[in-house]
Chains A and B, each alone.
Chain A
Amino acid sequence: MTVYTFDGTLDGLLTAVFDTFALKEQPLQLLTEGDTLPLFCDHTYQVSTDEEKARRVWAGLEKRLTCETMKLLSVSWLSELSELNQPLFQYICKVFRQGDISKNFADPDVLAVTNIARRVLHEQLRMKQFIRFQKAKDGTYLAVVSPDHNVLPIITDHFQDRFNDQPWLIYDAKRHYGFYYDGKDVIRITFENEAAVPFNLANGHLNDDVISSDDQLLQDLWRTYFKAICIRERMNPRKQLNDMPRRYWKYMTEKNAT
Chain B
Amino acid sequence: MEKLRILAESAKYDVSCSSSGTVRKGKQGMVGSTVGGVGICHSFADDGRCISLLKVMLTNYCMYDCAYCINRRSNDIKRATLSVSELEEITMEFYRRNYIEGLFLSSGVVRNPDYTMERLAAIARDLRTIHRFNGYIHLKSIPGCSQELLNEAGRYADRMSVNIEIPREESLKLLAPEKDHKSVFQPMKLIQQGVLENKEDRRKYRYAPRFVPAGQSTQMIVGATKETDKDILQMSSMLYGQPTMRRVYYSGYVSVNTYDPRLPILKQPPLVRENRLYQADWLLRFYHFKVEEIVDDLHANLDLEVDPKLAWALRHPEAFPVDINTADYEQLLRVPGLGTKSAWLIVNSRRFNRLTSYDLKKMGVVMKKAKFFITCNELTSQFSQPIIGINELRPERLRPLLISKAQQKRAAEEMQLKLNFEEGCQ
**With contacts A132-B97, A230-B47, A238-B48 known, is A164 near B268, CB below 8 A?**
no
**A-side contacts of B353, CB under 8 Å:** 104, 106
User: In the complex, what's the smallest C-beta–C-beta distance from A77 to chain B, in angstroms?
Assistant: 22
Residues of A in contact, count (CB < 8 Å): 56
A153, B46: Cα distance in complex, Å: 31
A237 near B46 with CB under 8 A, answer: yes
User: Whose C-beta in chain A lies nearest to the C-beta of B34?
Assistant: A162
Please state if A104 and B269 are interface contacts (CB–CB under 8 Å). Answer: no
Contact of A141 among B4, B32, B55, B97 (CB under 8 A): B97
Residue pair A103, B33 in contact (C-beta under 8 Å): no
Selected contact of B96 from candidates A133, A233, A239, CB within 8 Å: A133
Which of A105, A224, A229, A236 contacts B51 (CB under 8 A)? A229
Q: Which of B12, B96, B349, B351 contacts A231 (CB 8 A)?
A: B12
Q: Point out the residues of chain A lying under 8 angstroms from B42, CB to CB.
A: 129-130
Answer whether residue A128 sits at the interface, using C-beta atoms and an 8 A cutoff: yes
Interface hit among A43-51, A187-195, A214-222: A214-222
* Closest partner residue, chain B, to A252 (CB atom): B43
A135-B97, A225-B54, A254-B43 known; A106+B359 contact, CB < 8 A: yes
B8–A106 CB distance below 8 A: no
Nearest Cβ in chain A — how far from B22, in angstroms?
14
Interface check B50, CB cutoff 8 A: yes
Whether the pair B359, A103 counts as a contact (CB closer than 8 A) is no
- B402 part of interface (Cβ distance < 8 Å): no
A215 to B, closest residue via Cβ: B97
Bound complex: CA of A101 vs CA of B414, how far in Å? 49
Q: Is A108 among interface residues, defined by CB-CB distance under 8 A? A: yes
* Residue of B whose beta carbon sits closest to that of A160: B26
A72 interface hit (Cβ, 8 Å): no
Q: Mark B96-118, 1 if CB is under 8 A from A, else 0.
A: 11110000000000000000000
| Any A CB within 8 A of the CB of B207 | no
Please determine whether B362 and A132 come into contact, CB atoms closer than 8 angstroms. Answer: no
Closest to B99 in A: A222
B13 pairs with A231, CB closer than 8 A: yes
A139 to chain B, nearest CB (A): 10
In the complex, the chain A residue whose C-beta lies closest to that of B350 is: A106
Number of interface residues of B (CB under 8 A): 59
CA distance A27 to B26 in the complex (A): 48
Interface residue? A62 (CB, 8 A): no
B63-100 interface (Cβ within 8 A of A): 90, 93-94, 96-99
B55 touches A229 (CB 8 A): yes
**A135–B96 contact, CB under 8 A?**
yes
Distance between Cα atoms of A132 and B50 in the complex (Å) = 16
Contact of B12 among A108, A229, A238 (CB under 8 A): A229
The CA of A223 and the CA of B4, in the complex, are separated in Å by 11
Looking at the assembled complex, report how far the CB atom of B132 sits from the nearest CB atom of chain A, in whole angstroms.
8
CB-defined contacts of B8 to chain A, threshold 8 Å: 224-225, 228-229
A141 to B46, CA, bound (A): 27
Q: Does A226 sit at the interface, judged by CB under 8 A?
A: yes
Number of A-B contacts (CB under 8 A): 161
- A165 at the B interface (CB under 8 A): yes
Contact between B46 and A230 (Cβ–Cβ < 8 Å)?
A: yes
Residues of chain A contacted by B90 (CB below 8 angstroms): 218, 221
B1–A224 touching, CB < 8 Å: yes
Minimal Cβ-Cβ distance residue in A for B2: A224
- Cβ contacts under 8 Å, B51 to chain A: 226, 229
B5 adjacent to A225 (CB under 8 Å): yes
Q: Which residue of B lies closest to A170 (CB)?
A: B98
Residues of A contacting B96 with CB < 8 Å?
133, 135, 141, 163, 166
Asked if B349 and A253 sit within 8 Å, CB to CB, the answer is: no
Q: Does B345 contact A (CB under 8 A)?
A: yes
- Which residues on the B side are within 8 Å of A233 (C-beta)? 254-255, 268-269
Q: B47 to A129, Cβ gap below 8 A?
A: no
**Bound CA–CA A135/B99 (angstroms):** 13
B41 neighbours in A (Cβ, 8 Å): 129, 243
Task: Confirm or deny: A244 has a beta carbon within 8 angstroms of a beta carbon on chain B.
Answer: yes
Given contacts A134-B97, A229-B51, A234-B254, contact A105 B363 (CB under 8 A): yes
Pick from B30, B44, B252: contact of A240, CB under 8 Å: B44
A222 CA / B98 CA spacing, docked (Å): 11
1/0 per residue, CB under 8 A from A, across B288-326: the answer is 000000000000000000000000000000000000000
B352 sits at the interface (CB 8 A): yes
Residue B31 at the A interface, CB < 8 A? yes
In the complex where A162-B32, A240-B45 touch, is A228 in contact with B349 (Cβ < 8 A)?
A: no
Residues of A within 8 A of B11 (CB): 229
B4 pairs with A225, CB closer than 8 A: yes
Output the nearest chain B residue to A107 by Cβ-Cβ distance.
Answer: B352
Interface membership of A143, Cβ < 8 A: yes
* Pairwise interchain contact B1-A226, C-beta atoms closer than 8 A: no
A228 and B48 form a contact (CB under 8 A): no
In the bound complex, residues from chain B placing their C-beta under 8 Å from that of A10 are: none
Given the known A-B contacts A129-B42, A132-B98, A224-B5, are A161 and B362 also in contact in the complex, defined by CB atoms under 8 Å?
no
Contacts of B363 in A (CB 8 A): 105-106, 111
Question: B residues within 8 A CB of A130?
Answer: 42-43
Q: What 1/0 mask marks residues of chain A from 3 to 42 whose CB sits below 8 Å from any chain B CB?
A: 0000000000000000000000000000000000000000
Enumerate chain A interface residues (CB-CB to B < 8 A).
101, 103-108, 111, 115, 125, 128-135, 141, 143, 158, 160-166, 214, 218, 220-222, 224-240, 242-244, 252-254
Given contacts A226-B45, A231-B254, A240-B46, 7 further A-B contacts (CB under 8 A): A103-B352, A105-B359, A111-B363, A225-B5, A236-B46, A240-B45, A243-B50
Give me the interface of B with A, judged by CB distance under 8 Å. 1, 4-6, 8-9, 11-13, 25-33, 35, 40-51, 54-56, 90, 93-94, 96-99, 132, 252, 254-255, 268-269, 271, 345, 348-349, 351-353, 355, 359, 362-364
Pull 8 A–B residue pairs with CB atoms less than 8 Å apart, ordered by A.
A103-B348, A128-B40, A132-B97, A133-B96, A164-B26, A224-B8, A225-B56, A235-B46
